[in-house]
Chain A
Amino acid sequence: MTADAAPSARAPGERAASGRSHPIAWLIWTRLALGVVTLFVVSILIFAATQLLPGNAATAVLGHNASASAVRTMELRLGLNKPAVTQYWDWLSGVLQGRLGTSLANGQSVWSLVGPRLLNSLVLVVLAGVIGAVVGVGLGMFAAIRRDKPSDHALSVGTLAVTSLPEFVIAIFLVIIFSTVLWHVLPGVSPLESTSGALKPWQDPRELVLPVAALVIVIVPYIFRMMRAATIEALESDYVEMARLAGLSPVRVLLRHALPNAVAPTIQVIGLNFLYLAGGIVLVEFVFDYPGVGQGLVNAVSDRDIPQIQFIVLVLATFYVAMNILTDVVTLLATPRRRVAR
């Protein structure tokens, strides 16, 4: 993709009139460039919010009762005596070169604290995302095919009820049902070693069941609803009507004529659910004591550990932007008629 996109990327800009040769590559490059710009502004925002705010980061770290000399030392340590632009540049160039600095809470390097957490969270997000997508897409199509029958109504009402439940409430109910009050079948708290990274989440899959289940329950309703609507729309379109009137079998109509036109919304829905998971892991990891970035962020915020907060938020935002771009690009590639839009 990148290989054949590269040479044509400049074409539309230089020969705008005849430059319709590879509009798709052009769109992808614009999208990527926009993503990079977005991330750049995001990094400024994160930095400004955490370090340059009028309240002074040093007092934020030490609390308001800190002595003047302690504040002074902290200011030097955070580089607050330098001009704002220099501070930002030091931070950004450090992050880009992998120098993330040291934690203010315990002096360890930020990477050694956050790195293992990234992997743990990724396991959670990928598992929940894939399971949620399969279940949600399947249920959505099923409901669309059986439209207005009892099973469709039951699914619609059920998902509507779950849609708005806060993820931590779902997680707590899972803990109550499966690991404390009613039954004791699954571990409700993950005793994985969080900082050393000695234990990997997949070494005891039982510990993953409830956190993944909580996230799946949260995302399935969204996927279900969008998928149901998209399938119904595809089924109601003129060409499907035409295919039906031409006497094709219902299965063939569904698979060959309706579903290909529901591909774009499906991709978007799946992208959307990964986007959601970037934020959803925070509370779920907290409930299950799961050593991921979400729990790390909560800990860092309680410790007022600015270098850790900055890095974790930047990672989450980068994931968000990257997933967004990926969704857009795959949607573009999957739906020819959209390639001319914008």
Chain B
Amino acid sequence: MTAPPAGGARPARAAAAPRVRRREWLHILASAARTPRGMAGAVLALIVVLLAVIGPFVTPRPPLAFATIPGAGPSSGFPLGSDILGRDVLSRVLDGGWQLLLMAAAAMLIGVGLGAAAGIAAAQLRGWRDGLIMRTVDVVLAFPQLVFALLLVSILGPARWLLVLAVGFSHVPQVARVIRAAALDVSERDFVKAVEITGVRQSRLMVGEILPNLLTPLMVEAGLRLTYSIVIMTGLSFIGFGLQPPAPNWGYMINENRIILTTNPWAVVAPAILIAVLTVGLNTFTDAIARVALGIERGEKLIAEAEAAGAGTVTEIPA
């Protein structure tokens, strides 16, 4: 998986000195994968990822070519039947995932990167800069995430990199909230205060002292935002504002083949199942990461807080 290593790699690199810490994220990933929950999640997600990655090289037919009668059910030549334009559903399913996955991963990196930067800065700088960052976050949070992404895409146009940016930006407020809350704890600790007294620059303090201690929330955020990136990316594609046809993608396939649901349900069911298995797998694995790193109780709480990060300004979930 691209997600958890990407989220965890930065703290590992930033923490140049302590050797123990260097592979901590790997250790967490490995222990998470050994729990029943984590293993189930990892296996589900990996199946879909492998299918999406290897798929484009093993398509039985060209995914864009007209092949047989439109909307035909499964037959020996076409295991999943044909779609609304008479193209081979199996080939389109195999070819329709890799772009979504790549773009979702990129959007997650943007969202977690910018969100973590904003959250850490707000927590460490305090004062008016904290206020400015968090009030900005409040404003963006007034838009439901999908609506925000839809608004951006509708203005910017459906170019792929703009889509990635739009989805990435839509994650920033939530990530910033969660990371700020975690960073506030860290910045209160004695070792941070001790380093602060030596007069190092704030930016060094943030990257060198605070960031490495946010490993768990960052990994959980990476997993959650990757899941939500896929949800939003496929959702936008589903309503026609994400990845553009004729190239296959699982989101739009569900939409365009809804009309032939009665003659060949597989054209809808196959991509829908793949999206479902992928998101369920990722989410379950993320859950396992939180439980392994923090224990079941605190892990559950971190996940609940991250999911609720879009709401509530006065109160947090009671500690």
Q: Are A229 and B301 in contact (CB under 8 A)?
A: yes
**Mask for A159-190, Cβ within 8 A of B = 1, else 0?**
01101111111001101100011000000000
Interface pick from B88-96, B110-118, B178-186, B275-283: B275-283
The docked-state distance in angstroms from the alpha carbon of A233 to that of B258 is 45
Q: Any chain B CB within 8 A of the CB of A316?
A: yes
**B155 & A283 in contact (Cβ 8 Å cutoff):** no
Known A-B contacts A172-B254, A181-B262, A282-B146; the reply to A264 vs B275 at CB < 8 A is no
Residue of A nearest to B264 (CB): A181
User: Counting CB contacts under 8 A, is A271 at the interface?
Assistant: yes
Q: Are B314 and A338 in contact (CB under 8 A)?
A: yes
Stretch of A3-11, A13-21, A108-116, A327-335 with 4 or more beta carbons under 8 angstroms from chain B = A327-335
Judging by beta carbons under 8 Å apart, are A328 and B139 in contact? no
Interface size of B in residues (CB-CB distance below 8 Å): 54
Question: Are B279 and A165 touching (Cβ within 8 A)?
Answer: yes
Is the Cβ of B272 less than 8 Å from the Cβ of A233?
no
Q: Which of A176, A272, A309 contacts B268 (CB 8 A)?
A: A176
Which A residues, 296 to 330, have Cβ-Cβ distances below 8 Å to chain B?
297-298, 301-302, 304, 309, 313, 316-317, 320-321, 324, 327-328
Contact A328 B142 (CB under 8 A): no
A-side contacts of B147, CB under 8 Å: 278-279, 282, 297, 313, 316
Q: Out of B146, B151, B304, B317, which one reaches A283, CB within 8 Å?
A: B146
Q: Contact at B268–A49, with CB atoms within 8 Å?
A: no
Contact across chains for B227 and A164 when beta carbons are under 8 A apart: yes
The reply on A105 being an interface residue by CB < 8 A is: no
| Contact for A50 among B142, B155, B268, B317, CB less than 8 A | B155
Contacting residue for B254 out of A49, A168, A341, CB 8 A? A168
Which one of B1-9, B13-21, B202-210, B231-239 contacts A? B231-239
Out of B142, B145, B254, B268, name the residue touching A39 (CB < 8 Å).
B142
What is the chain A residue whose CB lies nearest that of B279?
A164
Partner of B311, one of A172, A272, A316: A272
What are the residues of chain B within 8 A of A50 when measuring CB–CB?
151, 155
Q: Does A225 contact B (CB under 8 A)?
A: yes
- The smallest C-beta distance from A183 to any residue of chain B, in angstroms, reads 12
Do the beta carbons of A176 and B261 come within 8 Å of each other? yes
* Interface: A45 (CB within 8 A): yes
Q: Is B86 an interface residue (CB 8 A)?
A: no
| Distance A137 CA – B300 CA, assembled complex (angstroms) | 17
Asked if A222 is an interface residue, CB under 8 A from chain B, the answer is yes
A50-B155, A268-B308 known; 4 new pairs, CB 8 Å cut-off, are: A172-B268, A264-B315, A286-B239, A301-B150
**Top 9 A-B pairs, shortest CB-CB distance:** A279-B144, A164-B283, A164-B279, A166-B231, A301-B154, A328-B314, A317-B142, A272-B311, A181-B265
